[in-house]
């Protein structure tokens, strides 16, 4: 495979050992700023990101040891070459899933430029490479948050209660496609989709049923919703109000709310980019003042990876999306340290174990650097990158689906060793349908076994300091910063999206992987290798055929019971506020409280903002 993303040089060549100059500083290091390109003096451990070079004064890098290792490496390379000549390698492609070249061996002199103080550190301190919490998973396990939603609100409410009873520690809501696109269940665009790939939510009445018997002051909830995120956020808050929960003190959770990745990858957008960004900054301001424990955005690489990106592209585009949100928040007049602590991220964990771990470690280090250097954030919480992980849906196969349990376990372990704050593990049947109750339980049990039986929680970042892992982490950092420079040259992420830059990069990566699969450079067990014939079918979850009819009937009853005058008044107020400079969140909350529907609120905003059509990208 010819693609070599993130490969800064030939890792297979012995590094020359160069003594640092006698004047090299010991109390500070001169680096190139990751945000401005200017040279500046940065204290060790400050989180700055610099090209590696041997570090003076560090006992980790004694020159005589490095020289000895360089000689040993040269002997190894000669021995390897002789062995390969006698018995050629059994395959040509030893790249990662993403096509990144993997060094055959990493030895200490190759990592001599990695300063353990500046680049690695300890957990809970800059640059947070090793984790954001000083106690790791001894202090608190990751949240086990299984994504769930299908059928009616009643159906999903029952699944939520089942998962909580099985030991799940947080909720995650999957909405059906009509809700994601801002349509009610009775709209013609909803035909054939009601409740099929998520739960049908048309109005506050559905949301009340969805969380019936679940105290919102005691459970955290993640909602995968983007274009219509402010509407579903408002519905959640209205339900909490009806439950008597103190929203300012006890409501916590996360909205996905990442519209930029919709334009890049998932394509569930409604409005053009700039008014969509306005809705997001409105939520930043509203939540910071009224729901301070709520994460108003989960900046998502997951869908970018599912669309075919490499691990490096997922990391780079996700973090650069996050930087764009920060800049828009600042431009809207919000103090960065008021909203930045509530930003969170959402990553994919794919099959390539070490590549994924390196990606997660690099993400924390890069984010800490850009938040301090580029945006001037002063509080430590603004520097910390917190993230949710989901195992890779695109890696699962319909063939021999039981094998998906193994894939998910490997991916979940990478997420845990990478320091995730919460985790969803895919069920074995998710290439075929939404998971059955039994398969959802097995997916949850995978996390519980990792947490309570494997021993991996006992030490923080146990792979930290590994020559190989630190080298892969460094490559991830350097490749991401290169993408930052290219996107900045285009004017920013919104401009890059409008120019089709990230879309083309992902298309090229997806094509390269597909070609490697078809040429059998990359093997997928059960798909292009180790197939079996006449597989028996497995039991899957079916959605009742009369569901849409029942959901539309309930929607009609809601419309008949509500105050039509209040609906008209609140929707009109929303149109006027959206056309002006008002924060739209209080206006949307007013609409929700009188049972305006998702479709009605979305249509009011469509009238003001218009809709978006993606230009052709080749």
Report the pLDDT value the prediction gives residue 410, as an integer from 0 to 100: 98
Q: How far, CA to CA in Å, does 604 sit from each of 229, 447, 566, 577?
A: 15, 43, 15, 11
pLDDT digits (tens, 9 = 90+) for 524-575: 999 999 999 999 999 999 988 899 999 999 999 999 999 999 999 999 999 9
Question: Same domain, yes or no, for 469 and 575?
Answer: no
Which domain range does residue 570 map to?
547-609
**How many Å separate Cα 430 from the centre of its chain?**
19
Report the pLDDT value the prediction gives residue 53, as an integer from 0 to 100: 55
> d(Cα 389, Cα 386) in Å, to the nearest integer?
10
pLDDT digits (tens, 9 = 90+) for 424-444: 999 999 999 999 999 999 999
- Range in 16-30, 164-178, 179-193, 353-367 the model is least confident about: 16-30
What is the C-alpha radius of gyration for the chain, rounded to an integer number of angstroms?
Answer: 25
Report the pLDDT value the prediction gives residue 209, as an integer from 0 to 100: 98
* pLDDT band, very low/low/confident/very high, at 111 (cuts 50, 70, 90): confident
Tell me, yes or no, whether 72 lies in a domain.
no
Question: Same domain, yes or no, for 467 and 584?
Answer: no
Question: Same domain, yes or no, for 490 and 596?
Answer: no
Q: Which of 491, 420, 516 is nearest to 460 (CA)?
A: 420
pLDDT digits (tens, 9 = 90+) for 238-292: 999 999 999 999 999 999 999 999 999 999 999 999 999 999 999 999 999 999 9
Q: Which of 594, 544, 551 is nearest to 574 (CA)?
A: 594
Report the pLDDT value the prediction gives residue 28, as an integer from 0 to 100: 34
Q: How far, CA to CA in Å, does 446 sit from each of 167, 181, 410?
A: 12, 33, 10
Question: Same domain, yes or no, for 354 and 493?
Answer: yes
DSSP character at residue 28: -
Is the pLDDT at 49 greater than 60? The verdict is no
Tell me, yes or no, whether 232 lies in a domain.
yes
DSSP character at residue 95: B
Q: Which of 344, 354, 254 is nearest to 301 (CA)?
A: 344
Tell me, yes or no, whether 453 lies in a domain.
yes
Domain tally, the chain: 2
Report the pLDDT value the prediction gives residue 65, as an integer from 0 to 100: 85
* Contact indicator for 175, 524 with CB cutoff of 8 Å: no
3-state secondary structure of 193: coil
Question: Same domain, yes or no, for 301 and 356?
Answer: yes
> d(Cα 148, Cα 157) in Å, to the nearest integer?
10
Question: Same domain, yes or no, for 586 and 498?
Answer: no
3-state secondary structure of 39: strand
Question: Same domain, yes or no, for 270 and 312?
Answer: yes
Average of per-residue pLDDT across 110-136: 94
Is the pLDDT at 169 greater than 90? The verdict is no
Is the pLDDT at 353 greater than 80? The verdict is yes
pLDDT digits (tens, 9 = 90+) for 583-610: 999 999 999 999 999 999 999 999 999 9
Residues facing residue 387 across a β-bridge: 345
Is the pLDDT at 26 greater than 90? The verdict is no
CB neighbours of 273 closer than 8 A, spacing ≥ 6?
A: 259, 260, 263, 494, 497, 498, 612
Question: Same domain, yes or no, for 413 and 557?
Answer: no
Average of per-residue pLDDT across 403-423: 98
Averaged confidence pLDDT in the chain: 90
Tell me, yes or no, whether 247 lies in a domain.
yes
Tell me, yes or no, whether 533 lies in a domain.
no
Q: How far, CA to CA in Å, does 415 sit from each of 354, 390, 460, 471, 603?
A: 10, 8, 13, 18, 39
The number of helix segments (H) and strand segments (E) in the chain equals 23, 12
Q: Which of 518, 534, 557 is the last residue of a domain?
A: 518
Is the pLDDT at 36 greater than 80? The verdict is no
Report the pLDDT value the prediction gives residue 64, as an integer from 0 to 100: 85
Report the pLDDT value the prediction gives residue 62, as an integer from 0 to 100: 80
Return the CATH number at 172.
3.20.20.240
Tell me, yes or no, whether 53 lies in a domain.
no
Omega before 422 within 30 of 0, i.e. cis: no
3-state secondary structure of 258: coil
Average of per-residue pLDDT across 213-239: 97
Question: Same domain, yes or no, for 555 and 462?
Answer: no
Question: Same domain, yes or no, for 142 and 196?
Answer: yes
CB neighbours of 399 closer than 8 A, spacing ≥ 6?
A: 526, 527, 531, 532, 535
| Angle 551-271-558 from CA coordinates, rounded to 5° | 25
| Angle 244-344-417 from CA coordinates, rounded to 5° | 115
Report the pLDDT value the prediction gives residue 473, as an integer from 0 to 100: 97
Q: Which of 224, 236, 230, 237 is nearest to 177 (CA)?
A: 224
User: Which two structure tokens, joined as six digits, stand for 109?
Assistant: 């002199």
Is the pLDDT at 13 greater than 70? The verdict is no
Tell me, yes or no, whether 55 lies in a domain.
no
Tell me, yes or no, whether 111 lies in a domain.
no
Question: Same domain, yes or no, for 513 and 605?
Answer: no
> d(Cα 504, Cα 128) in Å, to the nearest integer?
32
pTM of structure:
0.88
Question: Same domain, yes or no, for 574 and 505?
Answer: no
**How many Å separate Cα 415 from the centre of its chain?**
11
Q: Which of 535, 97, 6 is nearest to 350 (CA)?
A: 97
pLDDT digits (tens, 9 = 90+) for 296-327: 999 999 999 999 999 999 999 999 999 999 99
| In 169-300, alpha helices (H) | 177-180, 204-210, 229-242, 247-250, 259-261, 273-290
Average of per-residue pLDDT across 478-489: 98
DSSP character at residue 190: G
């Amino acid at each position: 495979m010819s693609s070599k993303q993130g490969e800064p040089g030939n890792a297979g060549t012995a590094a020359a050992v160069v003594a640092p100059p006698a004047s090299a500083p010991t109390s500070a290091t001169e680096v190139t700023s990751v945000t401005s390109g200017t040279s500046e003096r940065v204290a060790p451990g400050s989180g700055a990101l610099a090209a590696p070079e041997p570090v003076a004064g560090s006992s980790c890098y004694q020159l005589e040891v490095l020289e000895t290792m360089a000689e040993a490496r040269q002997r190894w390379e000669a021995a390897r070459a002789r062995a390969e000549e006698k018995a050629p390698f059994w395959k040509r492609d030893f790249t990662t899933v993403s096509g990144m070249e993997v060094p055959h061996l990493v030895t200490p002199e190759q990592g001599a430029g990695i300063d353990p103080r500046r680049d690695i550190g300890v957990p809970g301190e800059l640059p947070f490479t090793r984790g954001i919490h000083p106690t790791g998973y001894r202090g608190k396990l990751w949240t086990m948050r299984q994504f769930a939603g299908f059928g009616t609100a009643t159906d999903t409410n029952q699944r939520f209660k089942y998962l909580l009873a099985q030991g799940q520690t947080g909720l995650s809501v999957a909405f059906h496609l009509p809700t994601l696109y801002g349509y009610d269940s009775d709209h013609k665009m909803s035909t054939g989709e009601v409740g099929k790939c998520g739960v049908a939510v048309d109005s506050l009445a559905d949301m009340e049923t969805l969380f019936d018997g679940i105290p919102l002051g005691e459970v955290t909830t993640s909602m995968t919703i983007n274009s219509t995120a402010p509407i579903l956020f408002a519905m959640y808050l209205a339900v909490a109000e009806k439950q008597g929960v103190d929203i300012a003190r006890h409501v916590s959770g996360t909205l996905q709310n990442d519209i930029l990745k919709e334009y890049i990858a998932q394509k569930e957008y409604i409005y053009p980019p700039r008014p969509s960004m306005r809705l997001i900054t409105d939520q930043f301001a509203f939540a910071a003042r009224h729901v301070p424990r709520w994460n108003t955005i989960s900046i998502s690489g997951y869908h970018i990876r599912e669309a075919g990106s490499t691990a490096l592209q997922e990391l780079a585009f996700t973090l650069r999306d996050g930087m764009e949100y920060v800049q828009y928040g600042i431009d809207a007049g919000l103090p960065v340290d008021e909203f930045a602590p509530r930003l969170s991220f959402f990553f994919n964990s794919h099959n390539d174990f070490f590549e994924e771990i390196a990606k997660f470690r690099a993400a924390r280090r890069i984010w800490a650097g850009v938040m301090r250097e580029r945006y001037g954030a002063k509080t430590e919480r603004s520097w910390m990158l917190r993230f949710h992980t989901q195992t890779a849906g695109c890696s699962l196969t319909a063939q021999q689906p039981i094998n998906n349990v193994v894939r998910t376990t490997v991916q979940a372990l990478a997420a845990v060793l990478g320091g995730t704050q919460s985790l969803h593990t895919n069920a074995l049947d998710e290439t075929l349908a939404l998971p059955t109750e039994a398969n959802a339980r097995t997916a949850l049990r995978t996390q519980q076994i990792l947490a309570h039986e494997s021993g991996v929680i006992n030490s923080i970042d146990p792979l930290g300091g590994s020559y190989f892992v630190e080298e892969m982490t460094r490559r991830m950092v350097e490749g991401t910063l290169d993408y930052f420079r290219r996107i900045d040259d285009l004017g920013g992420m919104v401009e890059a999206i409008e120019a089709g830059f990230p879309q083309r990069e992902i298309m090229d990566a997806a094509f390269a992987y597909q070609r490697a699969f078809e040429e059998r450079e990359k093997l997928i067990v059960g798909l292009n290798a180790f197939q079996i014939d006449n597989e028996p079918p497995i039991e899957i979850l079916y959605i009742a055929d009369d569901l849409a009819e029942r959901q539309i009937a309930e929607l009609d009853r809601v419309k008949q019971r509500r105050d039509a005058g209040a609906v008209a008044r609140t929707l009109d107020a929303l149109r006027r506020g959206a056309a002006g400079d008002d924060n739209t969140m209080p206006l949307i909350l007013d609409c929700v409280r009188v049972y305006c529907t998702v479709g009605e609120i979305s249509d009011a905003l469509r009238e003001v903002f218009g809709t978006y059509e993606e230009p052709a990208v080749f």
